[in-house]
Each structure stands twice: as structure tokens, then as C-alpha cells.
Amino acid sequence: MRSEAMQDFSYDPFDPAVMADPFPHYRVLRDRHPLYYVEKWDTYAVSRFADVWDVLEINDGTFVASEGTLPAATVLAHHNDGPVPDPPVHPMPFHANFDNPIYGGVRGAHSKPLRPRNVAGLADRIRELANERLDVLLPQGNFDLTQDYGGVVAASMVCHLVGLPDELAPDVLATVNAGSLAKPGDGVNTANARPGYLEYLTPIVVRRRAEGADGSQPIVDGLINYRLPDGSALSDTEAATQMLGVFIGGTETVPKIVAHGLWELSQRPDQLAAVRADLESNVAVAREEMIRFCAPAQWFARTVRTPFTLHGTTIEPGQRIITLLASASRDEREYADPDEFIWNRPIERLLAFGRGQHFCLGVHLARLEIGILVAEWLKRVPEFRVDTEAAWRPPSSFQWGWNNIPVTVQTGGH
């Protein structure tokens, strides 16, 4: 039931005002409505850090991802009258729509290159790519920090991981960026963009299957060789679909965190100088604050399968719950002065990469890329200035990040 205190406030992740700037809404949610019911979508929004932390830890079947972890408005518009069944195994949707054993099996089948020890072996390649980009960009003096620097490097690493030529990195970056744009009132409908993604990924599966999938390209080969609990294999399209997490997540998040984080440092000369004083030690510390403050992902959804009670309200089977990660990252109950960027802030817990069963598969690679991209930039760029008026953060229900941050640099010798 709506209380009188709610009459002057409303929250809807697809509302144009929320998509343009969600943070004021998050503050009201945390303070006044920690469990907020969005009647239009039959969905509850959870905004406080501790609640999000606890909800995402629950992996006992209370919540399922059958309707997707990022359902479009067209999905939420249908109000369920009870528990939602699991998706059909074939044709198999993205594996995040399942729980274990399917979710864990598919995740494990293509996670080998993203495990800590294997990720550490990618450091030299990431550093090489960063400096190759800087060799091209710095003489220009003006360029886009998000797209031209971090964007191309991150997309190049994705190409390496999935078996695409490096020269396709700019095309991959543009394709993922286009697929993340959203219309107010609707949100991101990833399904509509998937044919564009699969044009890159399905031929890789076809080729590797013909070559024998011997494990030398572990992401795609692992998916080809994976067998579902019923013994069946993934088709070419199904295997390609499971690669979307690496393809999309590996391309769009890191560049936005790096560019936005460097921008925040540039606005605080004392903090920038402090980080520069010992790059080897301090970049790793600043990286965590960049992740907390700049991560663009706003929320993830689950559908309730068994009754769940929070803040005195019981959420019934078939209703949804969205965990507002971006709100949690600005929760005063977890962080002092959370709206301030403080490079050496003590951070005991982070939710930017999620938590629990669906914790980000590429978290180790993301942290490595962010640290290297920031460090190499600060080594080679003594002065830089962001054109704040030209920076662009498109409205979005999900990836609310700075797609474009134009920057002017001054390097040694200029």
C-alpha cells in the first residue's frame, strides 16, 4: 500500500527524468523508501547497500533470473500470477537466465581465460595496447578519452579473448555502444541488438567447431565442448549467445570507468598529485574509488520464486525485485561522504560488479585493465583538460556512463 509520504515522489527506472539523472531519486529511495513498489512493472526497487548486499547473496532459489537480469519494459509490463518457469533449454537463451546447474556449468565452461592467474598473464598485452593507443592519440592533442583510449583497448582485449582480429576492435566498440542506447520509457532491449552481436560471434563458433575446438581458444572451445545436464550440446547460435557477457561487458564498462575516473582526478589537483607520487602503489587504491564512483551499471533484476519479506513487506512469487547497485555505491550508511570522490577512501565492500551467483565474470580482467590504463596515462600525460561542456552521458535505464569525454592533452615537449 502506498503511504502518504510517497504521494510527492515516484520512481521508475524507465522514466525520462530518472534516465537523465538517477542519483537524486536514489537518495530519496534510500532515505524514505528502501523498498519501493513500482506498480506499473509489479517490481520492487531495493536501494540501500546492506539490503542489496544481502539480497544478492541469496542463491537458494528464492530469486531466479528466468525473465533476464536486465529485462526490458516489454517483459516487465506482463504481470505474473505466480512463479515463473525456467526458460526452455533449447533454443537456449543467455545462460544468466538460468540458475545452477546450467548457469554454473556454462559459466565454468568459458571462464578459464578470466580466472586470476590467466588474467595476470594478460598484463603485458594490455600495457602494450595502451601505449600503442597513446602513441597515436597524444600527438593529436585532442581526442575522446572514453572511446579513443580505453574503448579501443578494451575492445581489442575482447577480440583477443573471443578470437576476432584486433583490427575489428573499433567496429566491435561501435556495435556495443549502439546496442546500449535506450529510449525513455522503454530501456535497453538487448534482444533487438543481438543479431548485430551474433554477426561477429556465430562465425567464430562455426570456424572453431570445424577446426576441432581443441581448447586453444578456451572461451569458444569451452562452449562448443560443454554438455547440458541432459547431455545435449549447444548449437552454433546458442554457443555464440553465451559469449555475449564477455563481448558486451568486456567492451563497455572499463572505458567509462577509466575516462570518468581520470576526469574526477583532473578536477582535484591535490588528489591527482597524490596518486602520481607513487603510481605503482596508489593507482590500485584509486582504482577502487573509480569503480565505486564511476561504474555505469545501475541495476539488475530477479524474479521472486518463493515469498520473500524485506522491510515488513512480503514480495510474492512472480513479482520482481531490482537491486540498485548504483544507489548502493552512494549509500551514506556504507560510505562517508559518498557523493565525494576521494582517491584513497577506505573501501571494505563494493557492489559495482554485483555479488553472489551472478558476480561479474570478468571482474579480474576489468580491475587489471583499469589499473593499467590509468597508470600508463598518468605516466605519459603530465597535463590534460576535459571539455566538460562537450562530454556526453546519454540517458539510460542501465548503462548510465560517460560515452564521450573529449580531452585536450599536453605531453612533455609541448
Question: Exposed, middle or buried: residue 318 (CB in 10 Å: 0-12, 13-18, 19+)?
Answer: middle
Q: Which SS3 state, helix, strand or coil, does residue 114 take?
A: helix
Integer Cα distance of 410 and 385 in angstroms: 9
pTM (whole model) above 0.85: yes
Residue-wise pLDDT for 32-44, tens only, equals 999 999 999 999 9
Burial letters for 104-128: b for 16+ Cβ neighbours within 10 Å, e otherwise?
A: eebbebbbebbeeeebeebeeebbe
Q: At 195, phi and psi to the nearest 5?
A: -55, -35
Q: And the C-alpha cell for 113?
A: 581465460
**Which is more confidently placed, 4 or 301?**
301
Give the up-direction half-sphere exposure of residue 247: CA atoms within 13 A in the CB hemisphere: 31
What pLDDT score does 182 carry? 58
Q: Please give the tally of structural domains in the chain.
A: 1
Q: In what order do the strands lie in the sheet with 320-323?
A: 35-38, 43-46, 320-323, 300-304, 63-64
Residue-wise pLDDT for 193-202, tens only, equals 455 899 999 9
Residue-wise pLDDT for 330-360, tens only, equals 999 999 999 999 999 999 999 999 999 889 9
**Which is more confidently placed, 11 or 2?**
11
**Which is more confidently placed, 143 or 412?**
143
Q: Where are the alpha helices (DSSP H) in 229-382?
A: 236-242, 244, 250-266, 269-276, 279-294, 325-328, 363-380
Integer Cα distance of 409 and 142 in angstroms: 7
Residue 101 makes CB contacts below 8 A (sequence gap 6+) with: 229
Domain hosting residue 174, numbered range? 4-410
Q: Which of 285-294, 303-312, 393-402 has the lowest mean pLDDT?
A: 393-402
Residue-wise pLDDT for 79-128, tens only, equals 999 999 999 999 999 999 998 899 999 999 999 999 999 999 999 999 99
What band does 4 get if pLDDT is binned at 50, 70 and 90?
A: very low
What pLDDT score does 102 carry? 95
Q: Residue 265's CB: how many other CB atoms inside 10 A?
A: 25
We report the CATH number of the domain holding residue 149 as 1.10.630.10
